[in-house]
Chains A and B, each alone.
Chain A
């Protein structure tokens, strides 16, 4: 187990390095300079390049990035908040916390609603409630996040005025409702579908029949015996969920004008603020990679039959 975790951490670090290299190459593939404006003279651009070390050969720049990141220095912003340390922008201006809060709430909502819904559907298999949930979840995974988000915004904030339109700082409980619901809806539906399927698979297993023969009540049969075993596919899916929630947060943050990391990333790409692009990419990637690692270890706890070293295929 320990050996496996160490190996996975090494792979994770390698992946991050590769992501850094790819991001660096892509950033530098864009012609022109981040300092190029209508007013700037060649001398000014050269001076700015020298100041931020952009005049050095590419491999030296890349090496410097990696060296500084290992020291925990994420560089300084070139354009959006000139001269401010990127780590300060991301971590101390509330952007990271805001995005994480949004993502965690959405993830929790998807799990807390999705798994019980799947259980209810499996428990009432073939009845109207199962049919209703099937239709709901099937339609739910086909609605794009941004359509749902904007429809919620129009109906509950603009027309009915129940919820605040601007969720910008996410101060009150009410301001969280729409972004979190919109962000988690797809995953709630997906998890419900997944739970239903794997629950039905589990119900057909021999040990369930044995338990039933021994007189275990259906309710506790589902909750105690079937649920634990049917959670494995759901846990596998949590890694992609997190990556997807980060994707979704780009849309959600721009729809509800939340100043989070996702929105900031898009801005930094559009303004070509190299250090900010690099830092946001690395931070978000690290988050996703870390989550995948946690998920893989969580497997082992739920189902000791899984051998971690053999799961590569």
Chain B
């Protein structure tokens, strides 16, 4: 087929040489012939094209890989280690990396009905079921230590949740003659310990890979949690900036004239305010009103915000108030440029309304720019959050972010430098990989900007 058409070029028309058309030429194309045509002319979509360019960029691909590892560390990691970010292990404070306290080697992990366990299992007599030695019982996130000696066989270990130290060892005789009274009387049942709860003695526990802090909290769990908080703050802040900035910029660019003039003067004004001064002030100002709102709020929104804490919410508010201006400028610039393209004029001439022009022509053409700017906004938001947390204003304990972990490490820096180094390195890696991914995205999505 191809050979036949190639011969009929308009420049060398020689009617005699055109082979006569036969019936065969008018036969419908076979299925495989159609497929070959489709295959040949398969259009490469914008995103597929960008992804191909991105994949060819080794540095960005490696950075993306490392960033995904960071994400796994932050979001999947906590499921794999037996420690929580707020759990305090009394016997294992100030441990160095990869260590675990002696006591934790004999941690008794009790699952099942723990209250029943304490009420029944360790009642007189049943205690002999356990061998002598040091025991650490992890109950609801707190580890309690007790030493089982011969003398204690005549004692009861009771759980008194009203007492300061909930795990009390009381002599059997004191209970009998009424010397010791518990606020809520224990109801001894005859259920054997093994039935009430499953007692498992673990001989070797998971080490504290990053060590523990002065309150006995596992630092790796805290770092994982902090990475998660930092990344989420970065992404949410970037999205806030994206939404406010792009709407503002698009409206300004599309409206033009006096509206544009006034809107851009506002942007310039905000742009020239040294934002950090206002940010610090905002953090302090918003603290009490936000807390009051959380406490009074019954709506689900207020509750969800209350879970985040006033520090994080005020970081979001700060971004919504001050940091959208760069995005607004970029979007306005794009809109102004795209507005003058011929295809927009053509669309207008064909009677397309503003909404259609925005949806079909402007948005798809500046989406690359939006993705790039948003992606590069994330590390800068993480930077700002860590800066605020470092100064003691952002996230507060027991919550953690990479910045607040670094800040916590400062006091004991000369003795335990690794407490700063681990979160510091992870913060650097997250920011570095995001920067590199952003650069790669810029090269891939907007080849005109390639440097």
Residues of chain A touching chain B, judged by Cβ–Cβ distance below 8 Å, are: 11-12, 14-15, 18-19, 22-23, 26-27, 29-32, 138-139, 141-147, 150-151, 153-154, 158, 197, 200-201, 243, 246-247, 250-251, 254-255, 265-266, 269-270, 272, 277, 280-281, 284-285, 288-289, 292, 312-313
Tell me the smallest distance from the CB of B185 to a CB of chain A, in Å. Answer: 41
Q: Is the CB of B289 within 8 A of A29?
A: yes
B169 contacts A by Cβ under 8 Å: no
In the complex formed, the residue of B with least CB distance to A31 is B288
Among B404-420, those with CB < 8 Å from A are 406-407, 409-410, 413-414, 417, 420
Contact check: which of A18, A27, A141, A254 meets B269 at CB < 8 Å? A18
Contact check: which of B273, B413, B427, B429 meets A19 at CB < 8 Å? B273
B149 contacts A by Cβ under 8 Å: no
B431 contacts A by Cβ under 8 Å: yes
For B409, the chain A residues whose CB sits under 8 A away are: 150
Q: Is the CB of B410 within 8 A of A255?
A: yes
For A23, the chain B residues whose CB sits under 8 A away are: 277-278, 281
B424 contacts A by Cβ under 8 Å: yes
In the complex formed, the residue of A with least CB distance to B429 is A142
Contact check: which of B273, B424, B451 meets A285 at CB < 8 Å? B273
For A266, the chain B residues whose CB sits under 8 A away are: 280, 391
For the complex, give the distance between the alpha carbons of A143 and B387 in Å: 12
Add 5 more A-B contacts to A151-B420, A289-B272 (CB < 8 A). A14-B269, A27-B281, A255-B410, A269-B284, A313-B336
Q: Is the CB of B284 within 8 A of A243?
A: no
Tell me the smallest distance from the CB of A278 to a CB of chain B, in Å. Answer: 10
15 contacts between A and B (CB under 8 A): A15-B273, A19-B278, A23-B278, A26-B282, A143-B428, A144-B387, A144-B406, A144-B428, A146-B407, A150-B409, A151-B420, A154-B417, A250-B276, A266-B280, A284-B277
Q: Is the CB of B281 within 8 A of A277?
A: yes
Tell me the smallest distance from the CB of B262 to a CB of chain A, in Å. Answer: 13
Q: Is the CB of B333 within 8 A of A281?
A: no
Among B378-415, those with CB < 8 Å from A are 379, 383, 386-387, 390-391, 403, 406-407, 409-410, 413-414
Q: Is the CB of A158 within 8 A of B432?
A: no
For the complex, give the distance between the alpha carbons of A189 and B420 in Å: 23
Q: Is the CB of B289 within 8 A of A146?
A: no
Q: Mark B263-304, 1 if CB is under 8 A from A, else 0.
A: 010001100111111101110110011000000000000000
For A255, the chain B residues whose CB sits under 8 A away are: 410
Query: Most A CB atoms within 10 A — which of B274, B278, B383, B420?
Result: B274
Q: Is the CB of B435 within 8 A of A138?
A: yes
For B403, the chain A residues whose CB sits under 8 A away are: 144, 146
For the complex, give the distance between the alpha carbons of A145 and B424 in Å: 10
Contact check: which of A26, A158, A270 meets B278 at CB < 8 Å? A26
Q: Is the CB of A31 within 8 A of B281?
A: no
For A153, the chain B residues whose CB sits under 8 A away are: 413
For B391, the chain A residues whose CB sits under 8 A away are: 250-251, 254, 266
Q: How many A-B residue pairs have CB under 8 A?
A: 127
The verdict on A142 contacting B285 (CB below 8 Å), with A251-B387, A255-B410 known, is: no
Contact check: which of B275, B333, B424 meets A313 at CB < 8 Å? B333
B436 contacts A by Cβ under 8 Å: yes
Q: Is the CB of A251 within 8 A of B417?
A: no
The verdict on A22 contacting B432 (CB below 8 Å), with A29-B289, A250-B391, A277-B281 known, is: no
Tell me the smallest distance from the CB of B89 to a CB of chain A, in Å. Answer: 26
Tell me the smallest distance from the CB of A186 to a CB of chain B, in Å. Answer: 10
Tell me the smallest distance from the CB of A83 to a CB of chain B, in Å. Answer: 24
For B336, the chain A residues whose CB sits under 8 A away are: 313
Contact check: which of A19, A146, A285 meets B406 at CB < 8 Å? A146
In the complex formed, the residue of A with least CB distance to B278 is A22
For A250, the chain B residues whose CB sits under 8 A away are: 276, 280, 387, 391
Contact check: which of B269, B289, B428 meets A15 at CB < 8 Å? B269
Prevailing SS type, chain B contact patch: helix
Q: Is the CB of B282 within 8 A of A147?
A: no
Interface size on B, residues (CB 8 A): 44
In the complex formed, the residue of A with least CB distance to B389 is A146
4 shortest interchain CB distances as A-B pairs = A142-B432, A147-B424, A142-B431, A247-B276
Tell me the smallest distance from the CB of B319 to a CB of chain A, in Å. Answer: 15
Q: Is the CB of B281 within 8 A of A243?
A: no
For B269, the chain A residues whose CB sits under 8 A away are: 14-15, 18
Q: Mark B319-341, 1 if CB is under 8 A from A, else 0.
A: 00000000000000100100000
In the complex formed, the residue of B with least CB distance to A22 is B278
Tell me the smallest distance from the CB of A133 to a CB of chain B, in Å. Answer: 15
For A19, the chain B residues whose CB sits under 8 A away are: 273, 278
Q: Is the CB of B420 within 8 A of A150?
A: yes
For A26, the chain B residues whose CB sits under 8 A away are: 278, 281-282, 285
Contact check: which of B282, B390, B451 meets A146 at CB < 8 Å? B390
In the complex formed, the residue of B with least CB distance to A142 is B432
Q: Is the CB of B428 within 8 A of A265?
A: no
Q: Is the CB of A144 within 8 A of B386?
A: yes
Contact check: which of B417, B420, B451 meets A197 at CB < 8 Å? B451
For B264, the chain A residues whose CB sits under 8 A away are: 312
In the complex formed, the residue of B with least CB distance to A200 is B451
The verdict on A138 contacting B417 (CB below 8 Å), with A26-B282, A197-B451 known, is: no
For the complex, give the distance between the alpha carbons of A138 and B429 in Å: 11
In the complex formed, the residue of B with least CB distance to A288 is B274
For A265, the chain B residues whose CB sits under 8 A away are: 277, 280
In the complex formed, the residue of B with least CB distance to A281 is B277
For the complex, give the distance between the alpha carbons of A154 and B424 in Å: 14
For the complex, give the distance between the alpha carbons of A255 and B451 in Å: 37
For the complex, give the distance between the alpha carbons of A15 and B383 in Å: 26
The verdict on A139 contacting B428 (CB below 8 Å), with A154-B417, A269-B280, A270-B284 known, is: yes
Tell me the smallest distance from the CB of B200 to a CB of chain A, in Å. Answer: 41
In the complex formed, the residue of A with least CB distance to B383 is A144
In the complex formed, the residue of B with least CB distance to A12 is B272
In the complex formed, the residue of A with least CB distance to B384 is A247
The verdict on A243 contacting B417 (CB below 8 Å), with A139-B432, A142-B379 known, is: no
The verdict on A144 contacting B273 (CB below 8 Å), with A139-B432, A250-B391, A255-B410 known, is: no
Q: Is the CB of A247 within 8 A of B289?
A: no
Tell me the smallest distance from the CB of B35 to a CB of chain A, in Å. Answer: 45
Q: Is the CB of A151 within 8 A of B424?
A: yes
For the complex, give the distance between the alpha carbons of A313 and B261 in Å: 11
For A145, the chain B residues whose CB sits under 8 A away are: 387
Tell me the smallest distance from the CB of A80 to a CB of chain B, in Å. Answer: 15
The verdict on A18 contacting B435 (CB below 8 Å), with A139-B428, A269-B280, A269-B281 known, is: no
For B280, the chain A residues whose CB sits under 8 A away are: 250, 265-266, 269
For the complex, give the distance between the alpha carbons of A144 and B432 in Å: 11
In the complex formed, the residue of B with least CB distance to A242 is B274
In the complex formed, the residue of B with least CB distance to A280 is B277
The verdict on A158 contacting B289 (CB below 8 Å), with A146-B406, A147-B424, A285-B277 known, is: no
